[in-house]
Structure 1
Amino acid sequence: MSRLYLMRHGQTLFNELKRIQGACDSPLTDLGKSQAEEAKKYFESESLSFSGLYSSTQERASDTLEIVKPDEAYTRLKGLKEWNFGIYEGSPEYLNPPAQEGQESYGDYFKTYGGESVTEVEERMSETLTELMKQHRDGNVLAVSHGGALYAFYLKWRKAEDIRPSFSNCCILVYDYEDGKFDLVESINPGQ
Structure 2
Amino acid sequence: MKKTIYLMRHGQTLFNKRRKVQGWCDSPLTELGIIQAGTAAKYFKENHIVFDHSYCSTSERASDTLEIVTDLPYTRLKGLKEWNFGTFEGESEDLNPPLPYGDFFVNYGGEEEKEFQRRMVNTVQKIVEEDNEVVLIVSHGAACRKFMQYWEHTSSIRQKERLGNCCILKFEYENKEFKLVEIINHDFSNLSEASPVLT
TM-score bracket, normalised by the shorter chain, equals over 0.9
On the 8 A contact 1:7/1:146 being kept in 2, the answer is yes
Cα drift, residue 23 of structure 1? 0.4
Matched, 1:131 2:121: no
CA distance in 1, matches of 2:39, 2:79: 26
Runs ≥4 in structure 1, deviation > 2 angstroms? 159-163
Deviation at 1:190, TM superposition (A): 2.8
Amino acid at match of 1:41: K
1:12-39 CA-partner distances (Å, limit 9, x unpaired): 0000000000000000000000000000
- Structure 1: any 5+ residue segments left out of the alignment? 100-104
> Which residue of the other structure, out of 176, 184, 187, is the alignment partner of 2:183?
187
Q: Percent same amino acid at aligned positions?
A: 51
Please report how far the alpha carbon of residue 191 of structure 1 lies from its aligned counterpart in structure 2 after TM superposition.
4.2
Among 138, 142, 161, the alignment partner of 2:136 is 142
Match of 1:109 among 104, 109, 123: 104
Which residue of structure 1 aligns with residue 3 of structure 2?
2
What TM-score, normalized to structure 2? 0.89
Cα RMSD between the aligned structures? Answer: 1.3
Residue matched to 2:38: 37
Unaligned runs of 5+ in 2: 189-199
> Given residue 64 of structure 1, which amino acid in structure 2 is its aligned partner?
T
Q: Which amino acid aligns with 1:31?
A: L
Query: In 1, are the aligned partners of 2:157 and 2:182 still within 8 Å (CA)?
Result: no
Distance 2:131 2:37 in 1: 24
Count of residue pairs the alignment pairs up = 185
Q: Which residue of 2 aligns with 1:87?
A: 87
Secondary structure, in 3 states, of the residue corresponding to 1:135? coil
Deviations 1:118-146 (A, max 9, x none): 21121011110001101135x11000000
Partner of 1:11: 12
Summarize the alignment of residues 68-79 of structure 1 with structure 2, pairs less than 5 Å apart.
Answer: 68-70=69-71, 72-79=72-79
